[in-house]
Each structure stands twice: as structure tokens, then as C-alpha cells.
Amino acid sequence: MSELIFVRHGQASFGQKSYDKLSDLGIEQVRILALHLQSLGEEFDYIYCGSLLRQQETARELMTLIKGKPEKANTHRGLNEYNADPLLKIFLRNHNSKHDIELPIKDEKVFQKIFEAATSKWIRNELEPADQDTEYEAWQNFQNRVYGALDEIMSRHASGSRTLISTSGGVIAMALQRVLGFPDEQVIATNWMVHNSSVTRVRYGNGKISLTQFNSLPHLEKKGMQHLVTYR
């Protein structure tokens, strides 16, 4: 059996001008994970990440775990997180009279409320993108993109290989849908559960695929490290 080991990127820069960059705490989370896996003697045959900066920064901190010590991770755009900004913009454009909110949303509770409403409509194909919404990606396109990336990686790396994937919560949640077959609404709910720097493992081979670990934080489940556990 072969294995995919998903790592969600470390904490990004929520509420800042650019979210797509690890915070100092996010870098610390991933470095602790790398040291933890190293202490267990874990090694991986390959490493992939999306093209987003936070995914690449996370992969960079994990490179010491890869056999042969490659200079950089394999980049696959199919592993990129969905872009939430156009979803929020479209939703607020149609409902701003009710919410009176401007982007970027810096209050996490307000963000979650608006995000849940926007993604609910996104999944049901009820958002109404305009011509200027060029960065908008339909739900079905996101699903097909992630499924395609996973199928490509699994077909490329079989025969007992172990592949590390540095990606984001939405991609990990979509990967679990691919494995477990749960409904679309559960993808977003699962997305919210995925911790920064958490580990999720999937085994595959002989026409079978199964989840063996989800959202694990063994490197942070220690006394004095509770402040390092984050969702965003």
C-alpha cells in the first residue's frame, strides 16, 4: 500500500493585507512538526505543494524529511486552496444591504458567519458572478481540480511510496470526500475543523483507498503548547 500524508500549512496572516504568507507562529508550528516527524524516523519519498506562498513556505520547512534531499517540492496547482475572496465579494454584492460589511473582514466571528453563508450558496451554485469576477471558481470546478490532482499523484506514485503533500484545509476536506464519499456540505464543515500544521493520512493500492488519520497534532499536544493550536 502507498500513502499520502497531507499537512495543512501553518497559520497564515489572517486580517493582514496579504493572507497568503505564514505568520511567525505558523512557521514555528511547521518547524515543530518537522522536528517531531524527524524524531520518529519518518521519511517520505516525494513532496508536493500548491503554488500558493503559504503552502510553499510550509513545504520548505519539511524538505529535510524527503529522501534524497531535493532542493524544492513538486508544485501542482491542483493542490491550491479555493479563493474565498471572490465568493465573499459576490455574496456581499448581492446581500450587502443586510450585512453592511467591507472586505477584508478582520473580525473572525463576522468572517465565519459571512463565509458560511457565501459557501452555502457556492456549493448550491446560487452565487451570481459578473464578468469582472475573473478569479471566481465554480464549486464543481474546484472539486474536479482537486480530484484530478489526487488521482494524478496516486497514479504516478504507487508501489509502496509515501508522498507528503503541503496544502490547505479545503483541499484536505475535498480529499476526504474523495475517500469517504460524504456530501458537499460536509466538505466545508470539515474544512473548518482542520488545524494549522495538522497531519492527515490516506492509504491506497490494489483498487482501494482508506483514511487512516485525520487532523492529528501530535507535535503540539504537549504541556505548554496549547497556544500554538490554531485553525486560521
CA distances 38 to 13, 30, 62, 196, 221, Å, are 27, 12, 10, 19, 17
Instruction: Tell me, yes or no, if the pTM score tops 0.85.
Output: yes
For residue 97, the model assigns a pLDDT of 52
Nearest one of 76, 24, 1, 3 to 11, comparing CA atoms: 24
**Would you place residue 158 in the very low, low, confident or very high pLDDT band (cuts 50, 70, 90)?**
confident
Q: Averaged over 11-35, what is the pLDDT?
A: 89
Burial class (CB in 10 A: 0-12, 13-18, 19+), 83: middle
Domain ranges of the chain: 2-81+157-228, 84-123
How far apart are alpha carbons 116 and 114 in whole angstroms? 6
Contact call for residues 108 and 14 (beta carbons, < 8 A): yes
For residue 47, the model assigns a pLDDT of 98
Q: Above 80 in pLDDT, residue 147?
A: yes
**Would you place residue 19 in the very low, low, confident or very high pLDDT band (cuts 50, 70, 90)?**
confident
Q: Averaged over 87-98, what is the pLDDT?
A: 82
How far apart are alpha carbons 134 and 155 in whole angstroms? 32
Q: Averaged over 142-147, what is the pLDDT?
A: 98
For residue 17, the model assigns a pLDDT of 66
For residue 16, the model assigns a pLDDT of 63
Q: Averaged over 194-222, what is the pLDDT?
A: 96
**Would you place residue 99 in the very low, low, confident or very high pLDDT band (cuts 50, 70, 90)?**
low
More confident: 76 or 95: 76
For residue 112, the model assigns a pLDDT of 85
Query: Superfamily for 2-81+157-228?
Result: Phosphoglycerate mutase-like (3.40.50.1240)
Q: Above 70 in pLDDT, residue 190?
A: yes
Which is it for the CA torsion 132, 137, 138, 141, positive or negative?
positive
> Which percentage of the chain shows pLDDT scores above 70?
94
For residue 109, the model assigns a pLDDT of 84
How far apart are alpha carbons 103 and 107 in whole angstroms? 11
List, in order, residues 6 or more apart from 151 with CB less than 8 Å away. Answer: none
Helix, strand, coil shares of the chain as percentages rounded to 5? 45, 15, 35
Q: Above 60 in pLDDT, residue 114?
A: yes
Give tens-digit pLDDT for 39-88: 999 999 999 999 999 999 999 999 999 999 999 999 999 999 999 999 99
